[in-house]
Structures are given as structure tokens and as C-alpha cells.
Structure 1
């Protein structure tokens, strides 16, 4: 599997120390970047990475943005919905009740672990790597 970023690049992008599971997050985000850029056409190096420095940078930054998004939200994409604490949304006692939660719903978590964040998509789109149809030469 191609990996488009390093732990050092995540730290440089976020300005924060990388999370303990950074390698796992990078690997998962790289797979998602590969998937969304599947129809992009570009020359590659022998290792499969784009030959163009700007395209390599865009892919790296997209991965870093995704890792940052998951880290800030406290989401483990490998664990999925099961990896998040479920918030009690309603509680009753002695005739009174309270309802509050600011945690994401199961559907929001499912979306966060299966699609790239908006910033990642924007980075790839700006680099010309996101298309709805294959380009031919």
C-alpha cells in the first residue's frame, strides 16, 4: 500500500506532536486519498508516488489534514463506530429529566471514518487530483 505522508509531516502540518497511533492513521488516510484520486492521471516514480513534487505535496497534505481531523474529533478509523464512547442523551431521576450531548452520532462517526474531510478533498481538488471521470492522454 502506498503511504503518502510521514509522522514528521503530520507534526509539521498540524504544529502538534503526532498522536500515538499516527502510523495507523496515516496508513488509513493514505488509502482514502488513493481511492479518491483513482481517476487522476499522473506520471509516477518507481515507488508509485507522483513524479511531480506539487502532486506529492498535495497528497501528503491531504493525508495530514485527515489525520488532524480524526485526532481532533477523537476518532479511530480502524475501530469505527465501536471505537467511540456512546453518550447518554437523556437521563431521568425523581421526575426530572435532562437531555444533552455534543458527541457525534453513530452516523456522523461512520461518515468520518469512511470519507475524507472537506480540507483533504479541497487540497486534492486544488491540485487537480479529484475528478469524476478519467482523463486520457
Structure 2
């Protein structure tokens, strides 16, 4: 289940149109955000959705930013990140990357989670 609705994506992307596969994009974006939150602790309902309105808002904002990124790159599967440069005849396309792996997560999605305090990287012991 996605952390944002299709209508929220339409509103977020306006005036640009939402993609025809908006539900799929939101599901993929939510999965990407889940991958960042492994080990995060927050209350959820029976469907695994957060119950705290602040957590809901942070995950929705990050998901919408990630969905926008997926739409703008046109790369839902991550297959395009397997290359840095492509040449077709006289045309050449080079994708800018940082680090060893091209970016899978939108910088704005990471920022939304950082600001919300969801990407703390420390160990809590009892």
C-alpha cells in the first residue's frame, strides 16, 4: 500500500500531468522509502501504515518526492542506472552519477525524511 494517493500525486505534480501508471509509480516510490526505513520504529495499524500524523506526513512527502523523481527519470525498474554512457551513432548520452552507484533515491525524498528525523543512524540499546 502506498504512502500517498493518486490524487495527492496529481496535486503534487500540478501543473504537470500525473502519469497514466500513477498507482504503480506510488507503489514503487513507497517501496523505495520503505527500503530507507529498515530498522525505523513507529506505530502502525493492522495494514502496516503509520498511525502518527507526523510520520504519515513525512512518509507521504518523501513518497511524493520519490514518485516525482521516478516520473522525471522514467526509470521505475532501476535498469537505466546500470549504465553511465550510451552511444547511438553520432549521439552520446552520459548520466551524471555520485559515488559508486547512481542515485536511486530522490534528494528531496531523502531531505524530507532527514528533516522529519526518520533517517537517524544510531543504535539504541536497553
Which TM-score band (shorter chain)? 0.7 to 0.9
**Residue-pair matches, total:** 122
Partner of 1:77: 76
Cα distance change of structure 1 residues 27 and 134 upon mapping to structure 2, 3 Å threshold? farther
Higher relative contact order (CA 8 A, sep 6+): 1
Contact 2:29–2:70 (Cα < 8 Å) also in 1: no
Do structure 1's residue 121 and structure 2's residue 110 form an aligned pair?
yes
Normalising by structure 1, we get a TM-score of 0.71
Rounded Cα–Cα distance in structure 2 between residues aligned with 1:78 and 1:36: 17
Rounded Cα–Cα distance in structure 2 between residues aligned with 1:17 and 1:136: 47
In structure 2, runs of 5+ residues without a counterpart are: none
Q: Give the SS at the match of 2:72.
A: helix
Normalising by structure 2, we get a TM-score of 0.77
Rounded Cα–Cα distance in structure 1 between residues aligned with 2:124 and 2:7: 33
Task: Flag the structure with larger Rg.
Answer: 1
Partner of 2:6: 7
RMSD of equivalent CA atoms: 3.0
In structure 1, runs of 5+ residues without a counterpart are: 92-99
